[in-house]
């Protein structure tokens, strides 16, 4: 039970990857807070059913007031914040197309949710971490930032921005003993996700470990970065993609 | 007990960093083999004294025959090889000089121990990992490969070679479910090590976490990479230096 009574926020906790993180933290004793623009109620129920502690709340991470309310409510219920996982992202419903046809509104939405949202959550959580002189922030990037996948320039760019943001945050927070790291997942075939089988086969072939990536493949790394085992690691990019990209 | 009854080889297991890894694994139930060109007897004894299982053996990692007999002996005693930590290195007594004054013998020695040695240990361990359809290889590089430490070009170069070797190995052994990753430590002030205080202060100032790095700072990452938690991570460089360098 590495996270007994730790307070862990997982933004986008209602999604499938968010759920995988949430279940794993809960299984190791953490109290998990699952803000989501949609609902994370089902994940909360799953955790409570197995005897764990979880709360969900509606939150728009791109909105400072909404984020602050969410963080303060988490602290009110759980006492503090030990770990923040910036997992929420504008992704599943992004508009796809060449960048020269993308509208400013669409571009701004990805940057607002994925980049500003991660910063706002960190901004709101950090005072509590500073107070206890300890904390872990994990920004979830994507290896599309390493590959430069075409046709969603806003998403790719936003995920690259997180890698740089992690580094600057790590330097700003080092004196408070707060570690900030990035996890970069490969293409995850979440439960029930419809993917083109031919393309998925190509992706598997590009990996050292030639199989589809699933959400639970990420859990170990996220928990490691949240645990004392990684206390001297900060500002780093941990790429979990079955050995496709080497950074 | 994440490593209950696992067979773990830590080359250079008699050194201070090797000892920290060995104790970390032993505390989690592993049987540890500690080949070293010097003696790892005190480390093996420390582990046995706490009720663990450890063997030490003389081994020159640069020599294929020596490596093969070491690995075969470990497999015989422990029933396989689950984890290989390529930690042995020609480092503490390297001859420091500008590269234009370095002798070929000196250069070759670093490459033979640090690069060829890591390859040979992986080569000898591979058949056992292949047989069990699972394995973890961890190559210990160094932050000097990222910042280009001065006056030991052979050491810096050898540590850079390991980063590339890790990637090629990861691709070659992926089909056997063997993961290969690199850990890149910063400047570690091991217990009792004499360091220039000004140099050390400079190192500390460059980090996000402004303190001296010690051998225990590396243990968590090495154990993570040796555990099932990192089963979909291979070919990667994990830099543990308190946030001095950011790679990628």
pLDDT tens across A109-161, in order? Answer: 999 999 999 999 999 999 999 999 999 999 999 999 999 999 999 999 999 99
A42-65 CB burial, b ≥16 within 10 A, e <16? ebbeebeeeebbbbbbebbbbbee
Which pLDDT score is estimated for A238?
98
Q: What is the pTM of this model?
A: 0.94
Q: Residues of B with CB below 8 A from A171's CB?
A: 208, 243
Q: Is there a catalytic annotation at residue B155?
A: yes
Which pLDDT score is estimated for A159?
97
pLDDT tens across B18-57, in order? Answer: 999 999 999 999 999 999 999 999 999 999 999 999 999 9
CB contact under 8 A, A208 and B239: no
pLDDT tens across B69-112, in order? Answer: 999 999 999 999 999 999 999 999 999 999 999 999 999 999 99
Predicted confidence band at A87 (pLDDT cuts at 50, 70, 90)? very high
Is residue B248 predicted with pLDDT exceeding 90?
A: no
Q: What is the mean pLDDT of residues B217-229?
A: 98
Q: What is the mean pLDDT of residues B159-187?
A: 97
For residue B214, what is the nearest residue in chain A, using CA coordinates? A232
Which residues are bridge partners to A135 per DSSP?
A178
CB contact under 8 A, A208 and B170: yes
User: Which ranges of chain A would DSSP assign to H, the alpha helix?
Assistant: 16-27, 41-49, 64-78, 104-110, 117-132, 144-147, 153-173, 197-206, 216-226
Is residue B134 predicted with pLDDT exceeding 80?
A: yes
A173 touches chain B (CB under 8 A): yes
Find out whether B50 and B44 touch, Cβ atoms under 8 Å: no
Kindly report the average pLDDT of chain A as a whole number. Answer: 97
Find out whether A125 and A77 touch, Cβ atoms under 8 Å: no
A168 touches chain B (CB under 8 A): no
Going from the N-terminus, what domains does chain A have, and what CATH number goes with each? 7-190+215-240 (3.40.50.720)
Quick one: what percent of chain A has pLDDT higher than 70? 100
Which residues are bridge partners to A127 per DSSP?
none
Q: What is the mean pLDDT of residues A191-213?
A: 95
Which residue of B163, B185, B235 is the best one to mutate when testing the A interface, meaning the one whose CB has the most A CBs within 10 A? B235
- The ipTM of this complex is 0.89
CB contact under 8 A, A237 and B238: no
What Cα–Cα distance (Å) separates residue B225 from each residue in A120, A154, A245, B235?
32, 33, 17, 11
A41 to chain B nearest CA, in Å?
27
Q: Which of B21, B90, B155, B176 is catalytic?
A: B155
B238 touches chain A (CB under 8 A): yes
CB contact under 8 A, B230 and A235: no
Pick the CATH number of B7-240 from 3.75.10.10, 3.30.360.10, 3.40.50.2300, 3.40.50.720: 3.40.50.720
Which pLDDT score is estimated for A55?
98
Predicted confidence band at B174 (pLDDT cuts at 50, 70, 90)? very high
B174 touches chain A (CB under 8 A): yes
Cβ-based neighbour number of residue B168 at 10 Å:
14
Which pLDDT score is estimated for A138?
98
Q: Residues of B with CB below 8 A from A237's CB?
A: 246-248
DSSP letter at A237 equals: E
DSSP per-residue letters across B222-243:
HHHHHSGGGTT--S-EEEESSS
């Amino acid at each position: 039970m590495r996270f007994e009574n730790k307070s862990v926020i997982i933004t986008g906790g209602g999604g499938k990857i968010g759920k995988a993180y949430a279940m794993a933290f809960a299984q190791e004793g953490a109290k998990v807070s699952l803000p989501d623009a949609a609902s994370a109620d089902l994940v909360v129920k799953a955790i409570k059913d197995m005897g764990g502690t979880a709360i969900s709340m509606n939150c728009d991470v791109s909105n400072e007031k909404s984020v602050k309310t969410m963080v303060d409510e988490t602290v009110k219920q759980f006492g503090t914040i030990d770990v923040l996982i910036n997992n929420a992202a504008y992704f599943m419903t992004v508009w796809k197309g060449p960048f020269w046809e993308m509208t400013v509104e669409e571009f701004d939405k990805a940057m607002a949710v994925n980049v500003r949202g991660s910063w706002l959550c960190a901004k709101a959580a950090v005072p509590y971490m500073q107070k206890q002189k300890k904390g872990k922030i994990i920004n979830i990037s994507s290896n599309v930032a390493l590959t430069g996948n075409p046709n969603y320039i806003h998403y790719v760019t936003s995920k690259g921005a997180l890698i740089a943001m992690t580094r600057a945050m790590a330097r700003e927070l080092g004196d408070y003993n707060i570690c900030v790291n990035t996890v970069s997942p490969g293409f995850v075939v979440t439960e029930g996700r419809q993917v083109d089988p031919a393309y998925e086969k190509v992706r598997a072939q590009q990996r050292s470990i030639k199989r589809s990536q699933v959400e639970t493949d990420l859990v170990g790394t996220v928990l490691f970065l949240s645990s004392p085992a990684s206390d001297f690691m900060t500002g780093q990019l941990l790429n979990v993609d079955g050995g496709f990209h080497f950074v | 007990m994440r490593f209950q009854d696992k067979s773990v080889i830590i080359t250079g297991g008699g050194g201070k960093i090797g000892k920290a890894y060995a104790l970390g694994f032993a505390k989690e139930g592993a049987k540890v083999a500690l080949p070293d060109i010097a003696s790892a007897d005190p480390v093996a004894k420390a582990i046995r004294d706490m009720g663990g299982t450890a063997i030490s053996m003389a081994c020159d990692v640069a020599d294929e025959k020596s490596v093969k007999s070491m690995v075969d002996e470990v497999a015989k005693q422990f029933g396989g090889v689950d984890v290989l930590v390529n930690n042995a290195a020609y480092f503490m007594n390297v001859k420091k000089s500008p590269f234009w004054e370095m002798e070929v013998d000196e250069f070759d020695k670093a490459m033979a121990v640090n690069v060829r040695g890591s390859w040979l240990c992986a080569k000898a361990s591979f058949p056992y990992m292949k047989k069990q359809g699972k394995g973890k290889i961890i190559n210990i590089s160094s932050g000097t490969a990222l910042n280009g430490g001065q006056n030991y070009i052979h050491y810096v170069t050898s540590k850079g070679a390991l980063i590339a070797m890790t990637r090629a190995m990861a691709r070659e052994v992926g089909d056997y479910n063997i993961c290969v990753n690199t850990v890149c430590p910063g400047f570690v002030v091991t217990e009792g090590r004499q360091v220039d205080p000004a140099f050390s202060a400079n190192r500390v100032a460059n980090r996000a976490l402004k303190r001296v790095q010690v051998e225990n700072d590396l243990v968590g990452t090495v154990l993570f990479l040796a555990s099932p938690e990192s089963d979909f991570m291979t070919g990667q460089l994990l830099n543990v230096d308190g946030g001095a360098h950011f790679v990628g």
